[in-house]
Amino acid sequence: MEILGIIAFVLALLTSVMFHELGHFLTARKFGMRVSEFFVGFGRRIWSVTRGETEYGIKAIPAGGYCRIEGMTPGDEMPAGEEDRAFIRASSLKKLIVLGAGSTAHFMIGFLLIFSIFFAVGYTTLTPTIAQVSENSVAEAAGFKAGDEILSINGKAVEEWSVDVKQIADSKGAELRFEVLRNGEKLTVTAAPSYNEEAKRYILGVVSALGTERDGIFESTSQAGRATWFLTKESVKSLIALPTKVPQLFRQTFMNEERDPNGLVGVVGAARVSGEAVGSEKLNGNERLTTFILLVASLNVFVGIFNLLPILPLDGGHMAVAIADEVRALAARLRKKPRPAPIDVNVLTPITGVVVVLLGILTVILVIADIFNPVSLNL
């Protein structure tokens, strides 16, 4: 099962990459830009086919993909008569839309995956059905039985047990009237919750059964939106804290310090965690699937945010260049001068090279750490 989880994660990652590049591809084509290649993977071509002006294919190294939009820099040559289709000739707004489409695809994937948990897969939650009645408890004295389903409390119908159960904790010991369903028959049971010093609240002395719950389309949309926003904020916090976690990662990699589950994790580590979740005997089938989906959704949201960082060669770096072009154009207009030539990102190659080297070093360290000192969620 663990191997199955790892394979599923890799396939999900490759699918995410494909949709990232598809975002660039569709928006570029929408704005009339020339797209000559759309490949999944890097390295040697394994298979390709040309349709129209675009070559589609798969390459040997399944570590990403790319969409080649022609005319990304002023020095790029375009086919005769198609100079106006160069990326560099498009308006800044169109450039930003094309460049941001990749991250937008990741956010959409993350949202839809989380939506699927609430709407289709279901999530584990407490139910109003009593799984166990504690000995010598208020519930036992009142006559509650295992298997009873609580239908209402003081005449208020139970709709969401995790919310409705708070009436017991907030009762301050006052007697409550419960309508329960037992063996198909409705009964009324009264009980006054007692204060529990350990729990620091009023309790009946029952253990609620776990169950799988699914929400309607509108509630699922709302829940998925809130969850995606939460993951987005957490991803931003993680990126801000990234420089402070690199020394910790170094110690964990080369000095055998225990890995922090909340620390930096690479693709290899994420795949292993996914395998651990899918193969866990502590989780039921629904919980395994939900955990896996949430891991993939979290990764997509993080990648979407990371890709927007204003550093080359990331999409966010190219977006920063497009914004800088527009600022320069505005300054020229205010001075009543002609629009300056677009910034040539090739001039920034040394900076790009440094960033690539740093990211490469970080990736290598993460791979080493994920192999020899892997993160475990103890699932």
Active site residue 37: no
Catalytic residue (one of 2, 21, 53, 83): 21
Q: Is there a contact between 110 and 307 (Cβ–Cβ < 8 Å)?
A: no
Maximal CA-CA distance, the chain = 90
Q: Is there a contact between 125 and 158 (Cβ–Cβ < 8 Å)?
A: no
Cis peptide before 374 (omega within 30 of 0): no
Distance CA 40, CA 50 (A): 14
42-49: list long-range contacts, CB under 8 Å, 24+ apart: 42/66
Distance CA 85, CA 87 (A): 6
Residue 203 is encoded by which pair of tokens?
């309790």
Local structure of residue 121 (DSSP, 8 states): I
Residue 333 is encoded by which pair of tokens?
């207009």
Q: Is there a contact between 53 and 36 (Cβ–Cβ < 8 Å)?
A: yes
**Cα atoms found within 13 Å of the Cα of residue 264, Cβ hemisphere only:** 24
Contacts (Cβ under 8 Å, ≥6 apart) of 124? 210, 211, 212, 213, 284, 286, 287, 290
Residue numbers annotated as active site: 21
